[in-house]
Amino acid sequence: MTPIQVRGEVLSVRRVGQYQQLTVVAPGVAEQVRPGQFVALAVGGETTAHLLRRAFSVYRTQDRGV
């Protein structure tokens, strides 16, 4: 799999037991990532982006809106 980097948007954050569930829109990611895989997220602008310390597990993907 070729690494991709896209700008995304967090649509929602919800508590599920002891975990937090993030719903993210990131064009082109759903076609390449499958449940059980991990993704790395960066925060900040294009010149100041910082990779978060932990990868996030993918629970579900959809090719279009929820």
Extract the tokens encoding 23. 């719903």
CA distance 48 to 66: 30
Helix (H, G, I), strand (E, B) or coil at 36: coil
Question: Does a structural domain hold residue 14?
Answer: yes
CA distance 45 to 49: 5
Question: Does a structural domain hold residue 17?
Answer: yes
- Residue 35 pLDDT exceeds 90: yes
Neighbouring-strand partners of residue 12:
23
Could you give the residue ranges of the DSSP H alpha helices within the chain? none
Question: Does a structural domain hold residue 66?
Answer: no
Range of the domain at 23: 9-57
Question: Does a structural domain hold residue 29?
Answer: yes
Q: How many domains does the chain have?
A: 1
Extract the tokens encoding 50. 């910082």
**Which has the minimum average pLDDT: 29-33, 43-47, 62-66?**
62-66
pLDDT at 43: 84
Question: Does a structural domain hold residue 2?
Answer: no
**Which has the minimum average pLDDT: 3-7, 14-18, 45-49, 50-54?**
45-49
Question: Does a structural domain hold residue 28?
Answer: yes
- Residue 45 pLDDT exceeds 80: no
Question: Does a structural domain hold residue 3?
Answer: no
